[in-house]
Copies of this chain bind each other. A is one copy, B any other.
Amino acid sequence: MDLIEIGKKAKAAAAYLGRLGPADKNRGLRASAQALLDGEAEILCANQEDVIRAMAAGMSRALIDRLELTPARVQAMADGLLQVAMLEDPTGEVLSMKERPNGLVIGRKRVPLGVIGVIYEARPNVTADAFGLCFKAGNAVILKGGSDALESNKAIVCWLKKGLADAGISEDAVCLISDTDRETARKLMRLNQYVDVLIPRGGAGLIRTVVENSTVPVIETGTGNCHIYVDEGADLEMALNIIDNAKTQRIGVCNACESLVVHRAEAQRFLPLLRKRMEEKQVEVRADAEACALVPWFVPATEEDWGSEYLDYILSLKLVGSLEEAIAHINSYNTGHSESIVTRDYEHAQRFLNEIDAAAVYVNASTRFTDGNEFGFGAEIGISTQKLHARGPMGLEALTTTKYIIYGNGQIRE
Contact = CB atoms under 8 A, between A and B. Distances in A.
A249 B235 CA distance: 67
Contact of A406 (B220, B246, B360, B407): B360
Contacts of A196: 386-388
Interface string A330-349: 01000000000000000001
Given A245-B412, A413-B245, A113 B387 contact: yes
A348 B172 CA distance: 26
A186 to B, nearest CB: 13
Contacts of A365: 104, 406, 408-412
Interface residues of A, number: 67
Given A369-B411, A387-B113, A410-B238, A404 B361 contact: yes
A402 B362 CA distance: 15
Contact of A15 (B355, B359, B363, B366): B355
Nearest to A109: B353
Nearest to A220: B217
Contact of A368 (B249, B368, B387, B413): B413
A358 interface: yes
A401 interface: yes
Contacts of A242: 410, 412
B408 A362 contact: yes
Nearest to A413: B368
Oligomer copy total: 2
Interface in A359-392: 359-366, 368-370, 374-376, 386-389, 391-392
- Secondary structure call for the A interface: mixed
A345 to B, nearest CB: 14
A327 to B, nearest CB: 9
A197 B387 contact: yes
Given A196-B387, A249-B413, A408 B355 contact: no
A245 B354 CA distance: 48
Given A365-B410, A409-B364, A376 B98 contact: yes
Interface in A276-307: none
20 contacts: A15-B355, A106-B375, A196-B388, A219-B388, A242-B410, A249-B412, A359-B403, A361-B404, A361-B406, A362-B406, A362-B408, A363-B406, A363-B408, A365-B408, A365-B411, A369-B411, A369-B413, A388-B388, A391-B401, A391-B404
The 3 closest A-B pairs by CB, nearest first: A365-B408, A245-B412, A389-B389
